[in-house]
Amino acid sequence: MNKAIKEFLEANTLKRRHIVRCGFELETQHTECNEKTVDDDAVSEAISGEVDAWMNSNVSRRLAEFISQSTMDSIRDEVRDDIEQNFDTSEYERSDNESIQDEIGNHNVEVVDDSSVSGVEIRTIGGLSYLDFVSALRDSFKLEHRIDKACSFHIHLSLPEVQHSYGERFQLALVEYLVESIPRLPDNVQKRFQSATSNQYIRGITSSREKYSFVNAHSLNTWEFRCFGNVKSVSEGIACLNIAIDAMAYAYACVKQGRPLMTDSFDGDIKFLLHGCLERLEPLSQRLRRIRKLTKNGRTA
């Protein structure tokens, strides 16, 4: 077994938190001080394009045959004035990400645009220590954010000097632990889990080869926990991080130490089983016991 993995498995909960390297991506619908600004250069270029298009039209060319160049220049100015007065600049608005980043004031954080939400994405840079992760998250929540179930809170985890590789059993172990831990999740995150089956990000619940999965084997050599979201405070984010770290320990124990998965003795459709847990916010072990009891009595869940 890899020495770093062995150390991680033998460590207690507190020490594990100081071994891992982690990061996050926090999506928002709106952030305090996130006023939209218009890209004036882009607007000016677009208006000039419309003016040129009109001046090159058949109507304009016919006019040029009968009037002087100075008159045509005056017409161009009037056309530009008219277009400017009626021009829709909404497509050229952009978030003032720099002002948000300055307000956060943490060198481990950057603010970027994200087309999946109406606000911005706040994300960490590189693999951080547990304490730096918490500090970056705390600074990010110095601002007020509008966040809903459509806003993901992705967590990236890795172990130093460990090159992860895709493994279905490892990934299923991660998902098992996350589903088993539903009662530990903040209420807001539980709501996100409950709506998972109708959201596109959950398409590959048991396959990390699909980007939009519960957990993704990321090309940056991290395991990306895409299942968390609707995180509205520092404490909720830390709760998700701690569960993700515990899930890593469980998965390594199952794969490297031969610990059985909860679903090893289940003969049915595992994806259907997990979806049922999410829809009912029911821990995996509890649902498995109920299914086995019903099966024993000749009934179905």
**Out of 34-38, 114-118, 175-179, 231-235, which region has the weakest mean confidence (pLDDT)?**
34-38
265 within a domain of the structure (yes/no): no
First-residue to last-residue Cα distance in the chain: 40
pLDDT score, position 199: 62
pLDDT band at 204 (very low <50, low <70, confident <90, very high): low
Q: Are residues 140 and 55 in the same domain?
A: no
Q: Are residues 168 and 126 in the same domain?
A: yes
71 within a domain of the structure (yes/no): yes
Q: Are residues 211 and 185 in the same domain?
A: yes
pLDDT band at 14 (very low <50, low <70, confident <90, very high): very high
Q: Are residues 82 and 102 in the same domain?
A: no
Say yes or no to pLDDT of 200 above 60.
Answer: no
Q: Are residues 86 and 58 in the same domain?
A: yes
User: Averaged over 228-245, what is the pLDDT?
Assistant: 96
Q: Are residues 54 and 203 in the same domain?
A: no
pLDDT band at 214 (very low <50, low <70, confident <90, very high): confident
Asked if residue 260 lies in contact with residue 251, where contact means CB atoms within 8 angstroms, the answer is no
User: Averaged over 254-280, what is the pLDDT?
Assistant: 91
> 259 to each of 93, 167, 231, 249, how far by Cα in Å?
53, 15, 32, 11
289 within a domain of the structure (yes/no): no
pLDDT band at 291 (very low <50, low <70, confident <90, very high): confident
| Bridge partner residues of 94 (DSSP) | 37
57 within a domain of the structure (yes/no): yes
Q: The domain containing residue 46 runs over which residues? A: 39-93
Mean pLDDT for all residues in the chain: 87
Model pTM score: 0.78
pLDDT score, position 34: 61
Which is nearest to 262 in space by CA: 193, 194, 175?
175
| Bridge partner residues of 36 (DSSP) | 95
203 within a domain of the structure (yes/no): yes
Q: Are residues 24 and 144 in the same domain?
A: yes
pLDDT band at 15 (very low <50, low <70, confident <90, very high): very high
Q: Are residues 170 and 100 in the same domain?
A: yes
Domain count, the chain: 2
What percent of the chain stands above pLDDT 70? 91
271 within a domain of the structure (yes/no): no
Q: Are residues 57 and 142 in the same domain?
A: no
Residue 203 sits in a domain whose CATH number is: 3.30.590
Q: Are residues 60 and 182 in the same domain?
A: no
> How many CA atoms does the CB half-sphere of 173 hold within 13 Å?
23
DSSP secondary structure code for residue 128 in this structure: B
293 within a domain of the structure (yes/no): no
Which is nearest to 164 in space by CA: 248, 69, 57, 229?
248
| Bridge partner residues of 25 (DSSP) | 123, 154
Which is nearest to 104 in space by CA: 138, 140, 133?
140
Q: Which residues contact 131 (CB under 8 A, 6 or more apart)?
A: 18
Last residue of one domain, picked from the residues 71, 93, 115:
93
pLDDT digits (tens, 9 = 90+) for 124-156: 999 999 999 999 999 999 999 999 988 999 999
Q: Are residues 116 and 188 in the same domain?
A: yes
283 within a domain of the structure (yes/no): no
Last residue of one domain, picked from the residues 93, 112, 130:
93
Tell me the residue type at 41.
D
pLDDT digits (tens, 9 = 90+) for 159-192: 998 987 668 899 999 999 999 999 999 999 998 8
Say yes or no to pLDDT of 201 above 60.
Answer: no
Q: How many residues does the chain have?
A: 301
Q: Are residues 89 and 11 in the same domain?
A: no
Last residue of one domain, picked from the residues 25, 58, 93:
93
pLDDT band at 10 (very low <50, low <70, confident <90, very high): very high
